[in-house]
Chains A and B, each alone.
Chain A
Amino acid sequence: MFKAIVSASTLRDALDSVSVLVDECKIRLNEDELAIRAVDPANVGMVDLTLEAAAFESYEADGGVIGVNLNRLEDIAGMANSGDLVQLELDEETRKLHIQIDGLSYTLALIDPDSIRQEPDIPDLDLPAEIVVEGAQIGRGITAADMVSDHIRLRVDEAEEAFFIEAEGDTDDVDLRLDREDLIDLQAGPAESLFSLDYLKDMNKAIPKDAEVRVELGEEFPVKLHYEFGEGMGQVTYMLAPRIQSD
C-alpha cells in the first residue's frame, strides 16, 4: 500500500539527485520515509536518499518496494508547476503507479525491482576532515576545474586552515582557495584525494546552490557529500570513489 501527496518541487529535487547517477532505481516505501539507494554500473558514485513522511502533504506506506524508470518519472513530474501538488498511488494488482497532477492523470508502468541492480552496501568510512560549504562555492570550483581537466583535487591544508579545489590541465591550472571565513565550518585533518569531474559535475547539478553541503574527505579515500532538500526533511548523501595514480 502506498498513497502520498507531495509538492512537485520536492519530488523533482529527490528524483534529480538520483537520476544523475542511474536510469532506474528501487524506491523503498517505508512506513515513516521514502528511501532510495543506488550506485552507477562502475561502482564509482553512490546516492543514498531519504525523504521523511513529514516532507509530504500526506503519506501512507507499509514497506513495499517499487522499481521505476527515473527519466520517465522525471518527465511526468516536469509537467507540474512548482507550486502544484503531485498525488501518487500504487495499484498493487496491476503494479502501476497512478500519478495525478492538477487534473492530469498518468499511469506509470513499474519495473520489476529484481531486474534492477542491487542496492549497494554503504562503505563504513571514518574520514578525518569535514568541510561545510555553500553549494554555490562547490559549483564554482567544479565549473572552473572543468575548463582545464577531467579530474579535480579536493584538499584540506591543516596549517593554513583552508579547503582547496584544484585542477591541473595540460597547459592551464585552476585553484579555488576557501579559507575558514569563506566556509560555514571546517574541521581540518589530513585530506587530499582526486576525483573524476564527470561524476562530480553530475552530482553538482542536483545540489541546490543555497544548500549547506557537508563534505567529508580523506587521503585517497571516497568523498561524502551531504545536503538537505525539501525544507530539511529530505537528506541526500553522495559518495564518490577516488582516482589513484597506478604505480
Chain B
Amino acid sequence: MGNADLRDIAHIEEVAFEDLSGVVAVDAHNWLYRYLTTTVKFTSDRRYTTEEGEEVANLIGIVQGLPKFLDNDLTPVFVFDGGVTDLKDDEVAKRRKARERAQERKEEAEERGDAVEVARLDARTQRLTDTIHETSRELLRLLDVPVVEAPAEGEAQCAYMNRVGDADYSGSEDYDTMLFGGPRTLRQLTSKGSPELMDLEATLADHDITYEQLVDVAMLCGTDFNEGVRGIGPKTALKAVTEHGDLFSVLSARDAEIPDAERIREFFHSPPVSDDYEVDTTITPDVAAARAYVVDEWEVDPDEVERGFERIEGALTQTGLDDWT
C-alpha cells in the first residue's frame, strides 16, 4: 500500500486530463482495488455479485473506468503483480490479520444491523480473488487492453516501463512507484476529479536530495517492507538524511535499527522487473463480445455498464504508427 507519509514531501501537482497523452502503465491490482473498495462497494452489495455470490464489481469497474483513459488520449497498459516478495511477508501477514479482524467486526455489525459499519468494513475485507483475477484479464483481453505480467511487484514494473520510456507515466494511488525510480506517476485515475502528477525529479530537486536518499527517507518513515523508526515522520527523516547523508548514518546516530535494511534498500533500487513484454498500444475493443461476457455470462445488470460500453464504443481509437510498418 505504500506509505502515505511520503505525500508530505512528494512533488505533486494537479493536472487536467485533457493535458495528458501517451501510455500509462497502470498497477492493475491497485486500480482494481479502488473499484472494489470505494467506487461501487459503498452503494450496494447485491448488484455486484452473481447469484452464486461471485464478485463482479471488478468488471463494472473496468467498464466504467476505461473510458476515462480512452476519452483522454491515454493508452492504459495493465500491469499485474507476480508473486509476493518474501520481503513483504510481514506486510502481507499484517494485512491478512487486519482483514480477519475486519471480518469479525463486520459479522458483529451485521448482527447489530449496522449497515454503514458493514459497508465500511466490507471494504477492508476485499481482496483480489482468483475469480477477480481471471475475469479481469478476460475482459481486458476482449477490450484489447494490453496486459503485462510483472515478475514481482506491479509498481516496480510500472516504474521500470516508465523509466525506460515504454510508458509515459506509471498509474498508481501509492507512492512506491517513485521509490522504485518511476519518473512520473499519475494518481487519482479512478476518482471523479482531475488526476495528480507526482514527479520524481521535482521531488528530489525540492529537497535537494538524491534518489537514494529519498528511498532512505521513506524507509525511516516505514514502507510496505519495513516498520519505520519510532517517532520519525517525513520531515524529521528528511532532515536526518540530509544531515547525516544516508540511512545507516542516521540509524547509528539515533541508535536505531531497521531489520533487513540493506536488502530492502537494494530491493527498491533494483527490484525484479521484466523486459519480456510486448505492448500493442492500438486498442480496438470487441465491445459486443465484452458486453456478452459481462452481462450474459457474469449476470451484471446492463444498466450498470451500458453507459461505459457506449463511451468505449464512441471513443476515438488512437492508432499507432507500427500499424503501418
Enumerate chain A interface residues (CB-CB to B < 8 A).
Answer: 22-24, 39-46, 115-117, 120-125, 150-151, 194, 196, 198-199, 221-222, 239, 241-247
Contacts and interface: CB of A to CB of B under 8 A. Distances in A.
B119 interface: no
B75 interface: yes
A45 B325 CA distance: 14
A87 B284 CA distance: 48
B261 interface: no
Interface string B263-287: 0000000000000000001011101
Interface in B289-325: 312-325
Given A22-B165, A41-B166, A41-B168, A46 B21 contact: no
A41 B75 CA distance: 10
Interface in B150-207: 164-168
B313 A246 contact: yes
B281 A43 contact: yes
B316 A121 contact: no
Nearest to A43: B320
Given A115-B164, A117-B164, A150-B73, A199 B21 contact: yes
Contacts of A125: 324
Contacts of A124: 324-325
B233 interface: no
**Residue of A41, A121, A125 with highest tally of chain B CB at under 10 A:** A41
Nearest to B21: A198
A222 B284 CA distance: 17
Contact of A39 (B18, B312, B321, B323): B321
Given A41-B166, A196-B73, A150 B18 contact: yes
Nearest to A117: B165
B16 to A, nearest CB: 11
8 contacts: A24-B165, A41-B166, A115-B164, A121-B322, A121-B325, A198-B21, A241-B318, A243-B316
B2 interface: no
Given A117-B164, A196-B73, A241-B319, A42 B21 contact: yes
Given A43-B320, A123-B324, A241-B324, 6 more contacts: A41-B22, A42-B168, A44-B320, A117-B165, A150-B18, A241-B319
Contacts, number: 93
A198 B73 contact: yes
A241 B323 contact: yes
Given A43-B281, A194-B316, A245-B316, A117 B321 contact: no
Contact of A246 (B73, B166, B315): B315
A245 B317 contact: yes
B250 interface: no
B320 A116 contact: no
Nearest to A121: B325
Interface of B: 18-19, 21-23, 72-73, 75, 164-168, 281, 283-285, 287, 312-325
| Chain A binding surface SS class | loop
Contacts of B320: 42-44, 241
A196 B18 CA distance: 11
A159 to B, nearest CB: 27
A121 B323 CA distance: 11
Contacts of B312: 246
Contacts of A22: 165
B197 to A, nearest CB: 15
A198 B313 CA distance: 22
**Residue of A44, A198, A221, A245 with highest tally of chain B CB at under 10 A:** A44
Contacts of B287: 246
B325 A123 contact: yes
**Residue of B75, B315, B320 with highest tally of chain A CB at under 10 A:** B320
A207 B258 CA distance: 55
A194 B319 CA distance: 11
A159 B18 CA distance: 36
B21 A241 contact: no
Contacts of A242: 319
Contacts of A115: 164
A61 B22 CA distance: 35
Given A151-B316, A246-B316, A117 B324 contact: no
**Residue of B22, B281, B319, B320 with highest tally of chain A CB at under 10 A:** B319
In the A-B complex, list the 10 residue pairs whose CB atoms are closest, starting with the nearest: A123-B324, A43-B320, A198-B21, A243-B316, A246-B317, A241-B319, A121-B325, A117-B165, A241-B321, A123-B325
B324 A42 contact: no
Contacts of B321: 39, 43-46, 120, 123, 222, 239, 241
B324 A44 contact: no
A156 B164 CA distance: 39
A115 B166 CA distance: 11
A236 B301 CA distance: 53
B22 A40 contact: yes
Nearest to B165: A117
Contacts of B18: 150
A42 B318 contact: yes
